[in-house]
């Protein structure tokens, strides 16, 4: 029988039922840790311990152990901070904006993306505390009443805006992530075999009973949080860009930074989501839920944001030339042809040229190509932040002050610490909490699965629907 399906390419393959979704996603939570997870977790913990020791040594000896000098006061510390904040953008975009636009493909990847956001913001905050040099005085960045006379924060400083923006972003993202977990935590609670698991997941699920009223409140809350989170996607990296744009340093003093930084953040965030989800897809055998359609949709966003970032790079050069300010012009020529030319062209290659390969449908739907190019994009976005910060500082108005930055062992080790922290937290999350949102995936089973009820597909129940892309015959 020849059937032409009126629905889109399925987002859930394998003819999954509601019970299959529960079983497949709960398996890694309820079972013993796999050998792969144990090895990865052990490596992450070792890296975290080494990095933690290096961070404490940095605080003990002072920031002089970094490669900073009188000319370059910001380098790897702020580069890493901006890089991690950018990575944390994709989770909120997938959770909030795509929810408001009713994009069904978000359901399988939003949980891990939200977790990634929270852990990335924690890593970003660690660099803020690190570069203070005196972490025990970190609370001075908060507008707290004190006994130090007129000591108060400068509300005109974007560094203070950063404190409010990132703390608000972290809080809202954490609440959004946790609230979305509650129905799935209740499922784990009801399936728990030991009293300890039942008690822990029961406490975390906050008395969820699955009634119609409970679901109605859950949906209402999700929309409210999505509405609150959407402005944060745009505001957080905008305020981070103000750390540079409100200065008078050539290369920083430009109005294009806010949209440029937001596009770059979404760009790098989606690339990191791709890396994590492709690994989870294989390790936890979730190929039927994280399908090629999900991969292709995210690659389209990467292509779009990568193109926006490329336009921003060219616009910067145009603005520097059109301004007629010789210092601005020199700052950008120095980026491309000066001592750090290699970092600039690595940035251009990774961020502008490599994403254009996704215009090919074959590459866009290839798991291997996607993983490799996503790694390349994140490398390029790190170089972008390095280029913006270091090349703008190392040659200022006075040639006698020109200097070069050379990272030390502790610059590198403190960066490695953030990877150990991130992957330790993410691996703990992937073992003890559902990495795919079971409740939301179940809502799209009838409309986006390969096996559909008769009323939806026009095919007898149990009969597989043809792939609408190729319009094959139903067997």
Q: Is residue 305 part of a domain?
A: yes
Q: Give, in order, the Cα–Cα distances in Å from 357 to each of 350, 353, 362, 370.
A: 11, 8, 10, 10
Residue 469 belongs to some domain of the structure: no
Residue 2 domain flag: no
Contacts of residue 107, Cβ cutoff 8 Å, sequence gap at least 6: 11, 437, 440, 441, 443, 444
SS3 (DSSP) at 349: helix
The pLDDT of residue 425 is above 90: yes
Residue 92 CB-half CA count within 13 A: 35
State how far the Cα of 105 lies from the Cα of 242, in Å rounded to an integer: 33
Tell me the average pLDDT of the chain.
Answer: 86
204 or 152, higher pLDDT: 204
Contact between 288 and 16 under an 8 Å Cβ cutoff? The reply is yes
pLDDT at 445: 84
Using alpha carbons, list the distances in angstroms from residue 271 to 6, 320, 347, 358, 401. 32, 30, 15, 12, 38
CATH number reported for the structural domain that contains residue 372 in this entry: 1.20.1630.10
Closest CA to 95 of 210, 198, 280, 230: 230
Identify the pLDDT of residue 10: 79
Q: What's the average model confidence in pLDDT over 33-49?
A: 92
pLDDT band at 456 (very low <50, low <70, confident <90, very high): very low
* pLDDT > 90 in the chain, percent: 42
The dihedral through the CA atoms of 282, 288, 289, 291 has a sign that is: positive
Whether the CB-CB separation of 385 and 81 falls below 8 Å is answered with: no
pLDDT computed for residue 60 by the predictor: 92
pLDDT-based confidence at residue 451 (cuts at 50, 70, 90): low
Say if 36 falls within a structural domain: yes
pLDDT tens per residue, range 106-126: 888 888 888 999 999 999 999
pLDDT, residue 3, reads: 43
Exposed, middle or buried by CB within 10 Å (0-12, 13-18, 19+), for 220? exposed
Number of domains in the chain: 1
The larger pLDDT score, comparing residue 467 to residue 13, is at 13
The answer to the question of residue 178 being in a domain is yes
C-alpha 192/C-alpha 30 separation (Å) is: 8
pLDDT tier at 352, thresholds 50, 70, 90: very high
- Look-up: residue for tokens 């190019």? 373
Distance between CA atoms of residues 200 and 369, nearest Å: 41
Q: Is residue 13 part of a domain?
A: no
pLDDT digits (tens, 9 = 90+) for 294-333: 899 999 999 999 999 999 999 988 998 898 888 889 999 9
Chain centroid offset of residue 281 CA: 17
> Is it the case that residue 5 has pLDDT exceeding 80?
no
The angle at the Cα of 38, spanning 432 to 442, to the nearest 5 degrees, equals 35
Report field, pTM of the whole predicted structure over 0.75:
yes
* pLDDT score recorded for residue 469: 36
Q: Which segment of 222-236, 254-268, 454-468 scores lowest on mean pLDDT?
A: 454-468
Out of 159-163, 168-172, 341-345, 447-451, pick the least confident. Answer: 447-451
| Per-residue confidence band for 391, with pLDDT thresholds at 50, 70 and 90 | very high
Beta bridge partners of 12: 449
What is d(CA 313, CA 245) in angstroms, rounded to the nearest whole number? 15
State yes or no: pLDDT of 465 exceeds 60.
no
pLDDT digits (tens, 9 = 90+) for 84-102: 998 988 778 888 888 888 8
Residue 418 has pLDDT above 90, yes or no: yes
Residue 462 has pLDDT above 60, yes or no: no
pLDDT at 31: 84
Query: What pLDDT, in 10s, does the model give residues 238-248?
Result: 999 998 998 88
Per-residue pLDDT, 120: 93
The encoded tokens of residue 196 equal 């300890």
Its domain, for residue 208, covers 18-142+161-445
Task: Decide which of 150 and 440 is more confident.
Answer: 440
Name, of 5-9, 143-147, 245-249, the range with top average pLDDT.
245-249
Q: Does residue 466 carry a pLDDT above 70?
A: no
Q: What is the mean pLDDT of residues 215-222?
A: 90
pLDDT score of 255:
87
Check residue 159 and give its pLDDT: 87
CB 459 within 8 A of CB 3: yes
pLDDT at 232: 84
pLDDT tens-place string over residues 358-367: 999 999 999 9
The reply to whether 9 falls in a domain is: no
Place of tokens 């702020």: 78
474 occurs within a structural domain: no
Q: Round to whole Å and give the CA distance between 375 and 255.
A: 29
- 181-199 pLDDT, tens per residue? 999 999 999 888 888 989 9
pLDDT score, position 154:
83
The predicted pLDDT at position 370 comes to: 94
pLDDT at site 7: 54
Express each pLDDT in 258-290 by its tens digit. 888 998 888 998 999 999 999 988 888 888 888
Q: With bands split at pLDDT 50, 70 and 90, how would you rate the model's confidence at 153? A: confident
Q: What is the pLDDT of residue 474?
A: 35
């Amino acid at each position: 029988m020849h059937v032409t399906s009126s629905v889109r390419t399925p987002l859930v393959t394998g003819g999954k039922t509601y019970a299959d979704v529960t079983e497949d996603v709960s398996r890694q939570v309820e079972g013993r840790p796999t050998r792969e997870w144990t090895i990865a977790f052990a490596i992450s913990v070792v890296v975290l311990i080494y990095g933690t020791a290096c961070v404490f040594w940095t605080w003990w000896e002072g920031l002089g152990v970094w490669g900073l000098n009188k000319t370059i006061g910001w380098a790897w510390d702020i580069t890493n901070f901006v890089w991690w904040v950018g990575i944390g953008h994709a989770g909120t975009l997938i959770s909030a904006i795509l929810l408001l636009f009713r994009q069904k493909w978000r359901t399988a990847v939003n949980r891990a993306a939200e977790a990634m956001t929270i852990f990335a913001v924690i890593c970003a905050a660690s660099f803020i505390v690190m570069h203070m040099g005196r972490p025990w005085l970190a609370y001075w960045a908060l507008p707290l009443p004190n006994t130090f006379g007129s000591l108060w924060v400068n509300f005109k400083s974007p560094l203070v805006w950063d404190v409010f923006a990132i703390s608000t972003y972290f809080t809202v993202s954490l609440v959004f992530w946790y609230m979305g977990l509650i129905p799935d935590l209740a499922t784990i609670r009801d399936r728990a075999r030991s009293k300890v698991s039942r008690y822990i997941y029961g406490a975390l699920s906050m008395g969820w009973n699955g009634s119609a009223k409970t679901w109605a409140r859950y949906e209402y809350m999700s929309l409210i949080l999505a509405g609150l989170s959407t402005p944060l996607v745009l505001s957080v990296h905008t305020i981070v860009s103000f750390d540079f744009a409100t200065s008078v340093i050539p290369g920083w003093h430009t109005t294009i930074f806010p949209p440029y930084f937001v596009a770059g953040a979404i760009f790098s965030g989606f690339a990191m989501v791709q890396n994590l989800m492709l690994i989870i897809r294989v390790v936890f055998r979730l190929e039927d839920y994280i399908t090629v359609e999900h991969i292709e949709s995210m690659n389209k966003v990467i292509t779009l944001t990568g193109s926006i970032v490329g336009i921003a790079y060219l616009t910067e050069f145009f603005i520097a030339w059109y301004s007629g300010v010789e210092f601005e012009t020199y700052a950008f020529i120095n980026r491309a042809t000066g001592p750090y030319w290699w970092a600039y062209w690595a940035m251009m290659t990774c961020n502008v040229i490599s994403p254009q390969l996704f215009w090919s449908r074959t590459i866009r739907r290839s798991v291997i190509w996607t993983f490799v190019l996503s790694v390349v994009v994140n490398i390029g976005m790190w170089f972008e932040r390095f280029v913006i910060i270091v090349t703008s500082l190392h040659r200022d108005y006075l040639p006698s002050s020109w200097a070069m930055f050379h990272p030390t062992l502790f610059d590198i080790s403190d960066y490695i610490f953030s990877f150990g922290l991130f992957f330790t937290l993410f691996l703990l999350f992937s073992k003890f909490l559902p990495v795919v949102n079971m409740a939301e995936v179940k809502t799209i089973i009838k409309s986006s699965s390969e096996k559909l009820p008769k009323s939806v597909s026009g095919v007898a129940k149990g009969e597989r629907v043809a792939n609408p892309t190729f319009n094959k015959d139903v067997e």
